[in-house]
Amino acid sequence: MSDSQATAVQGEAHNPALLHHFVTEEQQRDASSLGMWIFLATEVMFFGGLFCAYLIYRGWYFGDFGAASKSIDALLGGTNTAVLICSSLTVVLAIWGAQTARRGLMIGSLILTMLFGLAFLGIKGKEYKDKFDEHHVPGVSFSFEHVPIPGHPDQYANPRHAEIFFALYFIMTGLHALHMVIGLGIFTWLLVMAWKGRFTPQYHTPLEVGGLYWHFVDIVWIYLFPLLYLIDRHP
Amino acid sequence: MSMATATAQPVERVNYLNKEYGVASWLLTTDHKRIALLYLLSITLFFFIGGFFALLIRLELLTPAGDLVQADTYNKLFTMHGMVMVFFFLIPSIPAVLGNFLVPMMIGAKDLAFPRINLLSWYLYIIGGVMMLHCMLTGGVDTGWTFYTPFSTAFTNTKIVEAGLAIFVVGFSSILTGLNFVVTIHRMRAPGMTWSRLPLFIWAHYATSIIQILGTPVIAITVVLVAVERTLHLGIFDPKLGGDPLLFQHLFWFYSHPAVYIMILPSMGIVSEIIACFARKRIFGYSFVALSSIAIAVFGFLVWAHHMFVAGISVYAALVFSLLSYGVAVPSAVKVFNWTATLYKGSIRYDAPMLYAFGFLGLFTMGGLTGLFLAALGIDVHVTDTYFVVAHFHYIMVGGALMGYLGGMHFWWPKISGKLYPEGWARLAALIVFIGFNLTFFPQFILGYVGMPRRYYQYPQEFQVLNVLSTAGATVLGVGYLLPMIYFLWSMRYGKPAPDNPWNAAGLEWKTASPPTTFNFEEEPVVTWEAYNYDEIDGAHKQEVPVVG
């Protein structure tokens, strides 16, 4: 009851999405967007710990990391990079659709985004399967014997050090994939909201906030891709 | 209510406590004040669990021989004491209880920016807490709260993974609280509540939130790596497999050193409020005190490796971290000097909150100065892993953070409960806490300096006198902690109703009803005055002080 009292004070055409404790829609939009930016700052620190570990071991075990990196399929990784960049475009198109009140564009772009996300996870799964078949998954059956270090054909990579590379590879890409799965969950919800017609040119904050998250997950991949796939590719 | 003579009494005002009853109205609430009370109950429970472990530790150390518990049990006792007190009491204590209750009111908002996320953070705390309880009841952990690798990942056979996941979950609760505060302070301030008019409590919580947001994710990824390494036998931190145990310590302390500032900064905010109110003066050097909170948060991120001076980091790194650690002392000292200057020529009242604030001043200064001893490379090598370190950080965490928390609980109890606590008992309790605290921890400085290492359950005969003093002090301290709990509970039923502003204090929270209504303010406040305008509040009946010099 007091909810409606508090908001009724606002008088003019009231947006049902405006929560009771905000005075204006602008304040609510700013708060939501700032909240997501801060959350992304925590995500930067979360992945930052992993990147820090990666950089230290890359420095220590330079050649071993190069050899291990070379065993991953860069074509699959490259394809995934392209897929994710396209998905970021479709996110922006969805927001543009909401801003210009083009329902078809908005819903179509959301569906495309999710399809790109699923394609990414599928390709990722194929990559994991290959690594499993090659016994490159860290653990008891791990094997990385007699793999030459790039540039030093007479030296073999140390399997223990290559195992650290693969441990980081699986943890980093695994956490990234987990973020993709969460992103797909968020976009399912956005799609339902869009389908129900909740988003208007005036109010589409959830799309913008969800989009921020999606772009962030893409950017993490933009850093992961060269560090894990490209560090020792020579023409 | 049940009294037959109730007809003569005025009808009780509707407030956040009596608006609704029933379990669901509490467990599904999004009211920041109710969530604060949920947190209050939960952290008090964990405080007494952690205190129980402390009690057993002190009982074991009463005699030189290891007679009460075995060495393995002792290891678990100090580990669980540390984990519970750090992650489940100290870190959430002031932000999640008093911060939750007061941040929206102090800036003139109806609620935090994200009330549902606020409730979610409490549930995450409870899930983490249940995991930790389960971990404790099924065997616990014996690595020390720092769970250093490779002991934690390759050797111990206690419940590292479960404890780590509990810390992971409760860490998210902490992140969400910090996120909520930052957005609220940025976006929800009432008209006229400019940054330079914010209460120092808010500045302190803003600085705390920055640490929670940027530090906690690092410990989260660290415990994930520990859990993965332990379950899959990887070598990320295990030197036998090519990993680097120092990397673990860097990542761990990157969060866990700033975490000390998560505990102490909100307490400093409380002390600023209390000292200004009970000295009836605007805080001396407001902007310096405000910005020193931010400076502490920033510097706090640059000193972590002073925990690792003897762990094998390079001499040059140690030098730099030693210097930077001295740097943190500067903003801390700025605060202490400004509080002291505020007291100068103030009209000081010695009510219970002020006694705790005085206690804080002395004990925090002791803790801070001994911190400088430890930041000095030569002395640190001498007293590393001795009781000197234990005494030092208890002076900060208990003497500092906990004194501030208790002072704040007394100061705002009339607002929270709508009842007055018994002042005489409260002053007595403050005195008991102060005496008990010093009796417990001052002997530990001496013990450490003469060479008693921490984390041992036996010790040579010559250390017994000081250990007996410490255990006796812990008993006194325990009484000092039980007393407030008893009279706070008593006052909820029998206490005199509190007026809206019992201390005649500045600050928007005192312009609400006691206890406040669900949306805090009848109408949105407009702020036209500076913070701590005690000159205006006390106004006419204050004598002009002749200008000297």
| Rounded distance between C-alpha atoms, residue A176 and residue A168, angstroms | 12
For testing the chain A interface, which of B175, B209, B236 should be mutated: the one with the most A CBs within 10 Å?
B236
Which residue from A minimizes the CA distance to B176?
Answer: A39
What residue spans define the domains of chain A? 25-229
Domain extents in chain B: 32-533
Query: A21, B228: Cβ pair inside 8 Å?
Result: no
Does B186 contact A at CB distance below 8 Å?
yes
In chain A, positions 51-90, which contact chain B (CB-CB < 8 Å)? 52-53, 56-57, 60-61
- The DSSP H or E segment spanning A155 is strand A152-156
Q: Express each pLDDT in B414-430 by its tens digit.
A: 999 999 999 999 999 99
**Residue A233 to residue A72: CA distance in whole angstroms:** 11
Largest separation between any pair of C-alpha atoms in chain A: 80
Q: Which stretches of A52-190 are assigned E, i.e. beta strand? A: 148-149, 152-156
What is the pLDDT confidence band of residue B9, given thresholds at 50, 70 and 90? Answer: low
Residues of A in contact with B180 (CB under 8 A): 35
Strand partners, B386: B453
Q: Which of B216, B297, B316, B299 is nearest to B256 (CA)?
A: B216
B120 touches chain A (CB under 8 A): no
A chain contacts of residue B524, beta-carbon cutoff 8 Å: 23
Task: List, in sequence order, every beta strand (DSSP E) within B189-320.
Answer: none
B222 chain-A contacts, CB cut-off 8 A? 49
Which residue type does B447 have? L
Q: Which residues contact B514 (CB under 8 A, 6 or more apart)?
A: B414, B415, B418, B497, B498, B499, B500, B501, B502
Tell me the pLDDT tens digit for each residue of B363-410. 999 999 999 999 999 999 999 999 999 999 999 999 999 999 999 999
Q: Looking at beta carbons, which residues of chain A come within 8 Å of B225?
A: 49-50, 53, 171
For B281, the 3-state DSSP assignment is coil
- Range of weakest confidence among A37-41, B10-14, B129-133, B502-506: B10-14
Q: Does the B32-533 domain belong in CATH 1.20.210.10?
A: yes
Q: Which helix (H) or strand (E) holds B101?
A: helix B100-106
Contacts of A86 (CB under 8 A, 6+ apart): A116
Q: Are A180 and A217 in contact (CB under 8 A)?
A: yes
Helix B200-232, helix A159-195: angle, nearest 10: 120
Q: How far is CA B325 from CA B94, B149, B305, B318, B467, in A?
A: 25, 25, 9, 10, 30
What token pair was written down for B326? 């001295």
Cis peptide preceding B516, ω within 30 of 0: no
Q: What angle do CA B84, B89, B90 make, to 5 degrees?
A: 110
* Span A89-148, pLDDT tens digits: 999 999 999 999 999 999 999 999 999 999 999 999 999 999 999 999 998 889 999 898
Kindly provide the ipTM of the predicted complex, given to two decimals: 0.91
Q: Which of B309, B146, B216, B258 lies closest to A49 in space, CA to CA?
A: B216
Radius of gyration of chain A measured on its C-alpha atoms: 23
| pLDDT, position A121 | 98
Distance from CA of B233 to the nearest CA of A (A): 7
Give the three-state DSSP class for B481: helix
Q: How far is CA B408 from the centre of its chain?
A: 11
* The CATH classification of domain A25-229, taken from the options 3.40.250.10, 1.20.120.80, 1.25.40.10, 2.40.30.170: 1.20.120.80
**Model pLDDT for residues A65-80, shown as the tens digit of each residue:** 999 999 999 999 999 9
Task: Give yes or no for B522 touching A (CB within 8 A).
Answer: no
User: Which class for B494: exposed (0-12), middle (13-18), buried (19 or more C-beta within 10 A)?
Assistant: exposed
The three-point CA angle B214-B218-B224 to 5° equals 150
| Percent of chain B whose predicted confidence (pLDDT) is above 70 | 96
Contact B208, B266 (CB under 8 A): yes
CB B357 within 8 A of CB B407: yes
Which residue carries 């890409």 as its tokens? A173
Average pLDDT value for chain B = 93
Is the sign of the CA dihedral B8, B13, B19, B21 positive or negative? negative
Question: How confident is the model at residue A9, as a pLDDT?
Answer: 43
Q: What are phi and psi of B386, to 5 degrees?
A: -110, 180
- Chain B closest-CA separation from residue A224 CA (Å): 16
Query: Distance (Å, rounded) from C-alpha B133 to C-alpha B211?
Result: 26
Longest dimension (CA), chain B: 79
| pLDDT confidence tier of residue A17, bands split at 50, 70 and 90 | confident
Residues of A in contact with B214 (CB under 8 A): 41-42, 45
Whole-angstrom distance, CA of residue B393 vs CA of residue B400: 9
Instruction: Give the C-alpha separation, A132 to A126, whole Å.
Output: 10
Beta pairing partners, A156: A148
- A45/B217 Cβ within 8 A: yes
The answer to whether residue B396 neighbours chain A at the CB level (below 8 Å) is: no
The C-alpha atoms of residue B149 and residue B241 are separated, in whole angstroms, by: 12
B29-85 residue pLDDT tens? 999 999 999 999 999 999 999 999 999 999 999 999 999 999 999 999 999 999 999
Tokens at B418, concatenated: 């709508």
pLDDT score of B544: 53
Specify which residues A152 forms β-bridges with.
Answer: A149
Chain A with chain B: Cβ pairs closer than 8 A: 116
Residue A19: band (very low, low, confident or very high) from pLDDT cuts 50, 70, 90: confident
Calpha distance B329→B189 (Å, rounded): 31
Query: C-alpha angle A78/A110/A82, rounded to 5°?
Result: 10
Enumerate the β-bridge partners of residue B453. B386
What whole-number distance in Å separates Cα of residue B286 and Cα of residue B264? 19
What pLDDT is recorded for position A12? 44
Q: What is the DSSP string of A182-235?
A: HHHHHHHHHHHHHHTT---SS--HHHHHHHHHHHHHHHHHHHHHHHHHSTT---
Which among B214, B215, B519 has CB closest to A2? B519
Cis peptide before B199 (omega within 30 of 0): no
B228/A171 CB distance under 8 A: yes
What is the distance in angstroms between the Cα of B98 and the nearest Cα belonging to chain A?
A: 20
What pTM was estimated for this model as a whole?
A: 0.93
Read off the pLDDT of residues B264-290 as tens digits, 9 standing for 90 and up. Answer: 999 999 999 999 999 999 999 999 999
pLDDT digits (tens, 9 = 90+) for B147-157: 999 999 999 98
Q: Return d(Cα B191, Cα B508) in angstroms, integer.
A: 12
Which among B196, B180, B161 has a CA at the least distance from the CA of B119?
Answer: B180
The phi-psi region of residue B520 (left if phi > 0; otherwise alpha if psi is between -120 and 50; otherwise beta) is: left
pLDDT value of residue B543:
53
Rounded to a whole number, what is the distance in Å from the CA of B26 to chain A's nearest CA? 17
